[in-house]
Amino acid sequence: MKKRGSLHPLRFRLETAGSQVMEEEYHLVVASLTSTLPGAKAATPDESSPNDESRREGGPQELPFSENNRTSVTESFAHLIHGLKVEHLTDRVIQRSKRMILDTLGTGFLGTSTAVFHKASQYSKIYSSNVSSTVWGQTDFRLPPVYAAFVNGVAIHSMDFDDTWHPATHPSGAVLPTLTALSEALPQHTKFSGLDLLLAFNIGIEVQGRLLHFSKEASDIPKRFHPPSVVGTLGSAAAASKFLGLGSTKCQEALAIAASYAGAPMANAATQTKPLHVGNAARHGIEAAFLAMLGLRGNKQILDLSSGFGAFYANCSPKVLPSLDTHNWLLDEQDVAFKRFPAHLATHWVAEAAASVRKHLVLSDRAQLSIDHIERIVLRVPDVQYVNRPFPDSEHEARHSFQYVACTMLLDGDITIPSFQTCQIRRPQVRELLRKVELEHPSDNLPSFNTLYCEISVTLKEGVTFTERSDTFYGHWRKPLSQEDLKKKFRDNTSRVLSHDVVESLIKIIEKLEDLEDCGMLTTLLKGPISTQKASKPSSM
């Protein structure tokens, strides 16, 4: 793919002339950020000699996975974060990442109507700072950057409507809030271009993808840790480190610090706590980068060790990254999936197969389904326990239910944002239909977003059975949403929060983001104004 020219280098570099003055200013920023807790004092830079590292406390030294004695895996990641420049970006990566940014902003604005966003926002209001960043769509509400990143990240994942990648994670939600918060927090004379934003964003995405490729376990739908809480935290730290212009050593420390923030159990899937995983990833990435800049140290081989990043994934086999000269972006090779309705990605195969079966059962798309004639519904899906919820009782459980999505599509012929409201979940027709659903797990239907399928069979009381199968739904990376449909999703998601003019301005800015000279134009639009159509009360979702 064609690579970009170096017309818009990052404005901020600590190694440029006057860097000592700028570094002092950034320490003042960090001091403000770290003073948000009552009585807290900002740390001072670590003045110890590099030779002091040999005297750090610690137990027996563990041998790293890497057999390369010259460069550790962690060092290679740090060199990549520090060394990648705008000219390394390809046209395809820029176009794909702009689509990710547009979709992520849209899901974030929509998420500001949810109860979990309002709970996170109320909590974050106890913190204050001389430095503040925008909470998306809230004209009169700003927070310290780490908490603005937190609540915006929560909003993005609050309905499980954000993008999904392979190996499995939600890549954008952990990174974009980090960068929008930082772009406002830094000294006013420091301006970031759209290409600066795209570079840092893609570094955050790239780090997540590279880490996920270290383990076969990561290729499957997760069972233990929610991936954004692990790789998202390190990706956020990488993006923040790039935006702050940290050197390789500081980038290495930021990754080590971020690893100690990482990890959240899958047991909290289908609850209001799950969106916190993405919000915390964004927040902790900023904290890790600032703490590294202030001199905090971690294990410099954090990605090499089985007791480091290897603790999160079985059979982890890290490898030193290629040099910058031979670097290829994973996003160039593997696109993301965009969802058409707010639920777990695996349910999108179910919805498409159910829609096909419905055509055999009704006279028209909008006709009502007579559930009395249905004897049995069989879903042949992968064995993913946290999406096997026969009788969901909340919005979040319904978003993680093969059974509910199938029954809703059969009944209504469509799945929309209101489909997950409590009044819809508890409809008598839905509950009756749910009692007729059975799951089967064929041995060839593996729990991977790259290979799974859904087959649905509906048997009527007179004995007739209709069967349909979905191998790839519209929105999957093999069948991507058109640009027009992606913009329609963005407009639908933002119309209750932003005015029409702001919505259209955001679309235009993102479409030409590589030409934007000052990201301040973008962050100004993220504030609002708020549309008169905005709901007066938060959704219960």
pLDDT of residue 128: 86
Among the listed residues 261, 199, 194, 272, the one whose alpha carbon sits nearest the alpha carbon of residue 232 = 261
Task: Work out the pLDDT band at 63, boundaries 50, 70, 90.
Answer: very low
- Asked if residue 538 has pLDDT above 70, the reply is no
Q: Kindly give, in sequence order, each residue whose CB lies less than 8 Å from that of residue 357, ignoring residues fewer than 6 positions away.
A: 410, 456, 457, 458, 466, 467, 468
Largest CA distance in the chain: 82
**In this predicted model, what pLDDT tens digit does every residue of 395-453 receive, in sequence order?**
999 999 999 999 999 999 999 999 999 999 999 999 999 999 999 999 999 999 999 99
Between CA 355 and CA 434 the distance in angstroms is: 16
Residue 466 near residue 457 (C-beta atoms within 8 A): yes
Task: Mean pLDDT check: name the lowest of 80-89, 192-201, 216-225, 476-485.
Answer: 216-225
Between CA 277 and CA 265 the distance in angstroms is: 9
Q: What is the mean pLDDT of the chain?
A: 88
Q: Could you say which DSSP state residue 218 is in?
A: G
Between CA 184 and CA 146 the distance in angstroms is: 12
pLDDT of residue 370: 85
Helices 248-259 & 227-244 angle (0-180, nearest 10): 160
- Asked if residue 43 has pLDDT above 80, the reply is no
**In this predicted model, what pLDDT tens digit does every residue of 329-354 receive, in sequence order?**
999 999 999 999 999 999 999 999 99
Task: Mean pLDDT check: name the lowest of 171-180, 205-214, 311-320.
Answer: 311-320
Q: Kindly give, in sequence order, each residue whose CB lies less than 8 Å from that of residue 49, ignoring residues fewer than 6 positions away.
A: none
Exposed (0-12), middle (13-18) or buried (19+): which is 180, by Cβ within 10 Å?
buried
Most confident of 127-131, 188-192, 214-218, 269-273: 269-273
Task: Mean pLDDT check: name the lowest of 32-46, 216-230, 373-387, 411-425.
Answer: 32-46
- Asked if residue 17 has pLDDT above 60, the reply is no
- Asked if residue 11 has pLDDT above 50, the reply is no
Most confident of 30-34, 198-202, 321-325: 198-202
Whether the pTM exceeds 0.75: the reply is yes
Among the listed residues 61, 83, 47, 57, the one whose alpha carbon sits nearest the alpha carbon of residue 301 = 61
Supply the DSSP string of 324-363, one letter for each residue. Answer: GGG---HHHH---B--SSSS-TTHHHHHHHHHHHHHHHSS
Task: Work out the pLDDT band at 30, boundaries 50, 70, 90.
Answer: low
pLDDT of residue 18: 36
Share of the chain above pLDDT 90, in %: 79
Task: Work out the pLDDT band at 44, boundaries 50, 70, 90.
Answer: very low
Residues 52-64: what's their mean pLDDT? Answer: 40
pLDDT of residue 183: 94
Between CA 185 and CA 181 the distance in angstroms is: 6
pLDDT of residue 57: 38
Residues 85-108: what's their mean pLDDT? Answer: 98
- Asked if residue 8 has pLDDT above 60, the reply is no
Supply the DSSP string of 250-274, one letter for each residue. Answer: HHHHHHHHHHTT---BGGGTTSTTH
**In this predicted model, what pLDDT tens digit does every residue of 351-382 receive, in sequence order?**
999 999 999 998 776 677 889 999 999 999 99
